[in-house]
Amino acid sequence: MNSANSPLTDAALIEALAFYAEMGVDEAVCEAPIDRTTAPPPPKVVPFKPRAAKPAAPPPVAEPKRDYVSEARQRAQNAQDLDALHAALVGFEDVPLRAGAKQAVFADGDPAADLMVIGEAPGRDEDRIGKPFVGRSGELLDRMLAAIGRARGESDPKKGAYIGNVIPYRPLQNRTPADDEVAVFLPFIERQIELAAPKVVLCIGNVPAKHLMQASTGIMRYRGTWSSLTFGNQTVAALASFHPAFLLRSPDKKREAWRDLLALEAKLKELT
């Protein structure tokens, strides 16, 4: 031990060593001596640095609202034939009404026929089978067509009929589709008419009369009205009449429906 740095005298240090020896202390614990007579160095003070605050998360960016109608127009316009249009419709995913339906119901009959019949939307049977008008109202429609010498299975364009719907997916509970739901699918049925290019279109029920023919009144007053539809390069004569589902419930209206069928037959004869 170096007495030079100690405040104790050499004599006091020797006395302390003698005391340690007497107490049985016979070896040093550390390699280097520790002078316990001087004050320990002050603890190292590390200056307090406040932790930088975490940057606030950016506010959530609102997803831009999907413009179904523009997408539908684009898809429908890009389709150059009916098969491509059908594929474009099936590829149009996560759209209104689709989640509740089993499949898209696109068309039945011969697209070369000079008559096209357009209904509202598939019901339960159509949703299951994938073709328009296959249930009870379809049976009545087939009888109505037969009355003017037409059948959907006929390959002669003068005897056949091509059948579609404004809406390709079954609305749950067969409810009437809302206007904004119709707007999403309108570009498809309009393009379907343009590509099939029939001579005459028969619009059955309120929905096709309102959305394709711009009927200003309900079908009760509008039935029997003719107008011309223009889609792209095609202009086609269109007649509004009752929906067969309505005729099943109101058979007394068949007389007016029959008048419409005769007018339709006459127009087809005139144009073909």
Site residues for ligand URA per CB under 6 A = 119-123, 126, 132-133, 137, 165, 205, 245
- Rank residues 132 and 198 by Cβ distance to ligand URA and give the closer one: 132
Quick one: 160 or 244, whose CB is closer to ligand URA?
244
Residue 218 neighbours by CB distance under 10 Å: 11
Half-sphere exposure for 119 (CA within 13 Å, toward CB) = 27
Angstrom distances, CA of residue 76 to CA of 99, 137, 177, 203, 221 = 21, 28, 20, 20, 32
Q: Which is nearer to ligand URA, 165 or 225 (CB)?
A: 165
Taking the complex as a whole, how short is the minimal distance between the CB of residue 74 and ligand URA, in angstroms? 26
Residue 234, classed as helix, strand or coil, is strand
Whole-number minimum distance, CB 118 to ligand URA, in Å? 8
Q: How far is CA 218 from CA 57, 77, 123, 224, 256, in A?
A: 54, 30, 21, 12, 15
Least distance from ligand URA to the Cβ atom of residue 65, Å: 29
Min dist. Cβ of residue 170 to ligand URA (A): 9
Return the residue matching tokens 């619009």: 203
Q: Which of 144/245 has CB closer to ligand URA?
A: 245
SS3 of residue 107 by DSSP: strand
The residue (of 75 and 170) whose beta carbon lies closer to ligand URA is 170
Instruction: State which residue, 128 or 158, has the beta carbon closest to ligand URA.
Output: 128
Quote the least distance from Cβ 57 to ligand URA, whole Å: 50
Looking at beta carbons, which residue is closest to ligand URA? 119
User: Residue 202 has what DSSP assignment?
Assistant: E
Q: With contact defined as beta carbons under 8 Å apart, do 137 and 241 qualify? A: no
What distance in Å separates the CA atoms of residue 7 and residue 166, rounded to the nearest whole number?
108
Phi and psi dihedrals of 101, rounded to 5? -110, 155
Q: CB of residue 123 vs ligand URA: minimum separation in angstroms?
A: 4
